[in-house]
């Protein structure tokens, strides 16, 4: 692709530092400043021995095992995710079939589901009282569950694959769908068989997309918290879980801060590699339209293989969530008929406590936080995306591009404590402000918004702007009447992504949410931590409501999604 054909951003002549001013200020104020403050506070408690925490990491066998296990489980989870996702990516990338958009939306639901909801889903499906064990116990006439799934290494790996398969489906599948099929056809004409064409033509072309998706999956697995904490049990701990344990249980802030910094360094290295690979993905060797590269499922063999893959994806990715929904309608007693009692109980206050916050209030709070998050994330993400969509990136652009991903790889516990420590004095006295929660949610949603908008902005042909300028349109009018209408669908996708992420976020919310303004995931955690069938049933009902809301958001994203752009 020549420079004349490369699209430029609408503000290609605007200095990068102006476009980064607002996003940079937000990250500096609400990300780097809290992390700096808590690090300073932590190291100040060890009487000036700044390297003591780092030395403790290397000399402690326990911490060494935690670091080793963090890399081990992330590596194995990534390999398994590729094994599950690549066949599905081929299906999504090379074929058109009825119900494809719905299937794509369904496979994306686990990625934005809260950890507690997914954990509850796996408990409802494979737990001691789950549907699978109940059926097997009845068939085999057993008194104890035959499948011991929870609190195991297998549960961690399975949940990670469950979460991240959609990354491979979307990143690799979208890239695959844009490769010109004439490249493979030319190889076949020259005598290469199907497997030789795959190994020598297709896979080398797909390597940047496979590597980028693998790095992104590894980052999410590397920073895993809820999955290991809830499904792994007390025998397994990643860096994130150890940070939580050292902070909450032992109050060892120096060690927690050291582990957090170690985690950030690894994450920064991985995100730098990821952003470089995504630039190659956005400019593949030879582009093709989806209509040209994708074909219908016509042969019996392709239909059978596609059917097997579709059934596997639905069973693997939908069964835990479907089990969760069924549990929300099952009565308190085993074998009782379906009931809405758990849903009706969400608005009740059985003990008539003045301090009781009904779960229905949490629904309204989460919706409000979600709307604020959408406004903040779009306001910050749009100028950053414009800066990254320029033809010639400046040094500042290249530096800040991977920095945007850092909030995704930072300990939510450390970030929450940083908020409480740093944002307690004027003019940033936000410790008791409800705005602290949507600010934290924006930090998580902001990278996804930028990744959704940047390819859409870069795809705008500069000739359209040039024609408008020749006709006398001002830069502001060009932006308003040319750029914004063209990226309108991408804006809707980004807004929906930010909203679904906000209503499902749990890690940071659990630390900074005010008791009178809880979010839905926080209430679910409270209900799950209390004994009793009613509390468990209410947790299932709330989880189901959250799951349905997330599914609606994913369907909207698929409907408004621009066909050839967007990383997610």
What is the pLDDT, as a whole number, of residue 393?
78
Distance CA 443, CA 365 (A): 18
pLDDT in tens, 345-374: 887 766 655 556 778 888 889 999 999 999
Coil, strand or helix: which one is 295? strand
Residue pair 387/9 in contact by the 8 Å Cβ criterion: yes
User: What tens digit of pLDDT does each residue of 422-468 get?
Assistant: 887 777 778 778 888 999 999 988 888 888 888 777 777 667 777 77
SS3 at position 10: coil
Distance CA 247, CA 123 (A): 28
Q: Which residues are 179's β-sheet partners?
A: 287
User: Quick one: pLDDT at residue 386?
Assistant: 84
pLDDT value, residue 452? 82
| DSSP conformation class of 481 | I
Spatial contact of 79 and 157, defined as CB atoms under 8 Å apart: no
Report how far apart, in Å, the C-alpha atoms of 318 and of each of 29, 107, 108, 120, 511 are.
40, 8, 10, 13, 30
- Confidence at residue 7, expressed as pLDDT on a 0 to 100 scale: 40
Compute the distance between CA of residue 151 and CA of residue 134 in angstroms, rounded to an integer. 18
Residues, the chain, total? 568
Using the Cα atoms of residue 544, residue 545, residue 548 and residue 554 in order, give the sign of their dihedral. negative
Between CA 111 and CA 448 the distance in angstroms is: 12
CA-to-CA distance for 535 and 351, rounded, in angstroms? 13
For residues 420 and 37, the answer to whether their CB atoms sit within 8 Å is no
Burial class (CB in 10 A: 0-12, 13-18, 19+), 505: buried
From CA 234, how far away is CA 458, in angstroms rounded?
47
| CB-side neighbour CA atoms (13 Å) of 522 | 24
In SS3 terms, 130-191 reads as CHHHHHHHHHHCCCCCCCCCCCCHHHHHHHHHHHHHHHHHHHHHHHHHCECHHHHHHHHHCC
d(CA 85, CA 281): 18
Q: Which stretches of 389-508 are DSSP H helices? A: 395-403, 412-422, 436-458, 462-470, 475-478, 484-486, 488-504
Return the residue matching tokens 């949610």.
Answer: 441
Distance CA 417, CA 414 (A): 5
User: Cα–Cα distance between 74 and 60 in angstroms, integer?
Assistant: 21
Report the SS3 class of residue 296: strand
Q: Quick one: pLDDT at residue 1?
A: 39
The Cβ of residue 68 has, within 10 Å, a number of other Cβ atoms equal to 10
For residue 8, the model assigns a pLDDT of 44
pLDDT tens, per residue, the chain with 568 residues: 344 444 444 455 567 778 888 998 999 999 989 888 877 766 665 555 555 556 666 677 888 888 899 999 999 999 999 999 999 998 888 888 888 878 887 887 787 777 777 877 887 888 887 788 888 888 888 888 888 888 889 999 999 999 899 899 988 888 888 776 766 667 667 677 777 777 777 788 888 889 888 988 998 888 888 788 878 878 888 888 888 788 777 777 777 777 877 887 888 788 778 777 776 665 545 555 555 667 777 788 888 888 898 899 888 888 888 888 888 888 666 566 788 888 888 877 666 555 567 788 888 899 999 999 999 999 999 888 888 887 677 888 888 887 887 787 676 777 777 887 788 777 777 877 888 899 999 998 888 888 888 877 777 766 777 777 777 777 777 777 777 777 777 888 888 889 988 888 887 787 788 878 888 888 888 887 777 778 878 888 888 888 888 777 777 766 666 544 445 5
Place of tokens 């893959």: 309
Tell me the CA distances in angstroms from 15 to 11, 386, 392, one per residue in order. Answer: 8, 11, 12
Return phi, psi of residue 187, to 5°: -65, -40
Pair 499, 553: CB distance under 8 Å = yes
User: Mind giving me the DSSP string for 14-40?
Assistant: S-HHHHTHHHHHHHIIIIIHHHHHHHH
**Which domains are assigned to the chain?**
1-45+343-568 (1.10.3720.10), 65-327 (1.10.3720.10)
Parallel, antiparallel or unpaired: strands 295-296 and 95-96? parallel
Q: Smallest Cα–Cα separation from 317: which of 553, 120, 158? A: 158
For residues 116 and 520, give the distance between their C-alpha atoms in angstroms, rounded to a whole number: 11
Beta carbons within 8 Å of 159's beta carbon, 6+ residues apart:
118, 119, 122, 227, 231
Backbone φ and ψ of 287, nearest 5°: -80, 155
* pTM of the complete model: 0.79
Q: What residues form DSSP beta bridges with 95?
A: 295
> What pLDDT does 469 receive?
77
């Amino acid at each position: 692709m020549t420079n004349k054909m490369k699209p430029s951003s609408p503000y290609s002549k605007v200095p990068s530092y102006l476009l980064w001013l607002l996003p940079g200020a937000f990250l500096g104020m609400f990300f780097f400043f809290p992390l700096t403050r808590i690090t300073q506070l932590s190291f100040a408690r060890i009487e000036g021995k700044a390297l003591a925490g780092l030395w403790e990491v290397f000399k402690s066998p326990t911490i060494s095992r935690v670091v080793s296990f963090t890399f081990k489980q992330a590596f194995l989870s990534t390999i398994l995710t590729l094994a599950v996702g690549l066949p599905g990516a081929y299906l999504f990338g090379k074929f058109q079939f009825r119900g494809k958009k719905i299937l794509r939306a369904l496979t994306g639901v686990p990625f934005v589901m809260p950890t507690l909801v997914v954990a509850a889903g796996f408990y409802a499906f494979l737990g001691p009282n789950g549907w699978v064990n109940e059926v097997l116990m009845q068939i085999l006439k057993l008194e104890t569950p035959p499948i011991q799934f929870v609190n195991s290494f297998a549960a961690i790996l399975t949940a990670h694959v469950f979460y991240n398969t959609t990354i491979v489906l979307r990143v690799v599948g979208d890239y695959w769908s844009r490769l010109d099929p004439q490249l493979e056809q030319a190889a076949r004409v020259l005598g290469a068989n199907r497997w030789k064409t795959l190994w020598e033509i297709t896979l080398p072309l797909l390597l940047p997309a496979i590597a980028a998706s693998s790095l992104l999956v590894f980052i999410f697995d590397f920073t895993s918290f809820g999955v290991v904490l809830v499904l792994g049990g007390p025998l397994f701990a990643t860096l994130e879980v150890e940070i939580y344990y050292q902070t909450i249980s032992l109050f060892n802030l120096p060690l927690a801060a050291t582990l957090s910094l170690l985690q950030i360094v690894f994450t920064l290295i991985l995100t730098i590699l990821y952003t470089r690979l995504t630039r190659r993905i956005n400019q593949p060797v030879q582009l093709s339209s989806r209509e040209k590269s994708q074909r219908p499922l016509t042969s019996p063999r392709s239909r059978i293989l596609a059917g097997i893959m579709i059934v596997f994806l639905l069973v693997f990715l939908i069964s835990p969530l479907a089990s969760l929904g069924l549990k929300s309608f099952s009565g308190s007693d085993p074998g009782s008929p379906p009931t809405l009692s758990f849903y009706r109980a969400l608005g009740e206050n059985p003990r008539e406590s003045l301090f009781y916050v009904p779960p229905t209030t949490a629904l309204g709070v989460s919706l409000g936080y979600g709307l604020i998050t959408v406004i903040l994330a779009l306001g910050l993400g749009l100028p950053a995306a414009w800066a990254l969509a320029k033809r010639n990136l400046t040094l500042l652009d290249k530096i800040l591009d991977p920095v945007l991903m850092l909030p995704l790889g930072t300990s939510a516990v450390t970030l929450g404590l940083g908020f409480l420590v740093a944002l307690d004095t004027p003019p940033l006295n936000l410790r008791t402000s409800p705005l602290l929660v949507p600010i934290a949610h924006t930090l998580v949603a902001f990278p996804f918004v930028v990744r959704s908008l940047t390819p859409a902005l870069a795809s705008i042909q500069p000739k359209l702007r040039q024609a408008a300028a020749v006709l006398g349109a001002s830069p502001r009018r060009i932006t308003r009447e040319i750029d914004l209408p063209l990226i309108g669908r991408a804006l809707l996708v980004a807004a929906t992504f930010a909203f679904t992420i906000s209503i499902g976020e749990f890690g940071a919310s659990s630390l900074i949410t005010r008791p009178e303004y809880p979010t839905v995931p926080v209430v679910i955690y409270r209900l799950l931590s209390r004994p009793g069938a009613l509390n468990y049933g209410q947790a299932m009902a709330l989880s189901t409501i959250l799951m349905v809301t997330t599914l609606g958001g994913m369907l909207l994203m698929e409907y408004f999604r621009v066909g050839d752009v967007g990383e997610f």
